């Protein structure tokens, strides 16, 4: 119950943070760690969104500190470093959250804040899967496991790049799709246009890789145990591209961007879980 609740709260926290940014409510509480000097300030819509984000973050942190302590005791050898590193990153994340607010949401810092959150998400998923009871922690980066680790890393980079697009106000730098400013490759690749276009190119690369994996899994016995995951993640990737179009044509409507991030996290989770199962020898 504790691991599922912890992971679920983290997922909710990330989506809620995306909605806070989409609604422009990131500075609704201009101070930190309190909000207008109070634990529970007088509410209006933007304050409710930002304050609730902080509350979810606090509850998640408490639950994860408890779970990290339990996994630390179960793990042995160097694997004990994994929950320790995750706790350290979470403490950094909490401090960064305060600095982001006090510094009025600087682009680079908000992007780093999101990137750190994504690393925490990956590590939390790891310690939830490898709980030290049913499954002992393992690491392996070759063969099929290496392919899915590499794919997970690419999806992670794409998520961070998407955050940079968002925070650098590049979300509508290419207001059309599939073209960008009327071109397949815009002639002036610089500034926010380059930022936005890079995010699209990375999406195409990731999609192509999953299509190739899908074809290989159907024509050969390679990845035979991971076929369902490959099918599912390819379907998610195709849906994600459609959602990306909707993000652009909806002019960055907050609930559309939240759906876009939700599906991206699902893609990352499936890819990571496939890697976990290969290194745990549940897939061969």
Contact 248, 172 (CB under 8 A): yes
The pLDDT of residue 60 is 95
| Average pLDDT score, the chain | 92
Q: pTM of this prediction?
A: 0.94
Please tell me the least confidently modeled range out of 62-66, 86-90, 167-171. 167-171
Contact 101, 29 (CB under 8 A): yes
Place of tokens 């929950």: 83
Q: Mind listing the pLDDT tens digit for each residue in 240-250?
A: 999 999 999 99
Q: How confident is the model at residue 132 (pLDDT cuts 50, 70, 90)?
A: confident
| Residue ranges of domains in the chain | 1-137, 141-284
| Sign of the alpha-carbon torsion through 277, 159, 161, 93 | negative
Record the tokens describing residue 29, joined without a space.
């509480």
């Amino acid at each position: 119950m504790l691991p599922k609740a912890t992971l679920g709260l983290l997922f909710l926290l990330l989506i809620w943070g995306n909605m806070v940014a989409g609604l422009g409510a990131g500075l609704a509480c201009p101070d930190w760690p309190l909000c207008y000097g109070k634990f529970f300030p007088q509410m209006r819509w933007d304050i409710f969104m930002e304050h609730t984000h902080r509350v979810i973050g606090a509850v998640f942190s408490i639950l994860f500190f408890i779970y990290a302590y339990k996994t630390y005791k179960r793990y042995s050898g160097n694997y004990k470093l994994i929950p320790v590193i995750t706790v350290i990153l979470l403490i950094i994340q909490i401090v960064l959250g305060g600095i982001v607010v006090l510094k009025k949401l600087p682009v680079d810092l908000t992007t780093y804040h999101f990137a750190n959150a994504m690393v925490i998400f990956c590590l939390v998923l790891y310690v939830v899967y490898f709980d030290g009871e049913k499954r002992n922690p393992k690491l392996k980066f070759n063969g099929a496991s290496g392919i899915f680790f590499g794919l997970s890393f690419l999806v992670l980079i794409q998520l961070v790049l998407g955050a940079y697009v968002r925070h650098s106000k590049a979300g509508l730098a290419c207001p059309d799709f599939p073209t960008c400013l009327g071109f397949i490759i815009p002639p002036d690749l610089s500034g926010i246009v380059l930022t936005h276009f890079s995010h699209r190119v990375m999406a195409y690369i990731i999609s192509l890789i999953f299509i190739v994996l899908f074809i290989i899994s159907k024509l050969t016995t390679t990845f035979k145990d991971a076929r369902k995951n490959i099918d599912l993640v390819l379907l998610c990737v195709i849906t994600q591209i459609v959602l990306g179009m909707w993000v652009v044509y909806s002019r960055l409507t907050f609930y559309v961007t939240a759906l876009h991030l939700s599906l991206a996290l699902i893609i990352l989770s499936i890819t990571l879980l496939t890697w976990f199962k290969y290194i745990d020898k549940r897939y061969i």
